[in-house]
Amino acid sequence: MIVYLAITAAVAALAIACLFAEEKPTRQATAAMVVVPLLLRLFLIK
């Protein structure tokens, strides 16, 4: 479980990094949407 959560945290961090690296607002919005389920799983909410 710890490994799974560590992977989830890493992917969430990469998605947030993409959010700040992207130039186009549409791509930033896409990255932001990807972050939502990752955070919900990281905090064991869903």
Residues 10-29 that bind other proteins (CB under 8 A): 16, 19-20, 22-23, 25, 28-29
Which residue, 11 or 31, is less far from other proteins as judged by CB? Answer: 31
Q: Is 31 in the site for other proteins (CB under 8 A)?
A: yes
Handedness of CA 18, 23, 25, 27 (dihedral sign): negative
Q: Evaluate whether 8 touches 43 at the Cβ level (below 8 Å).
A: no
Distance CA 23, CA 42 (A): 27
Q: Does 8 interact with other proteins (rule: CB under 8 A)? A: no
**In the set 9, 11, 14, 32, which binds other proteins (CB under 8 A)?**
32
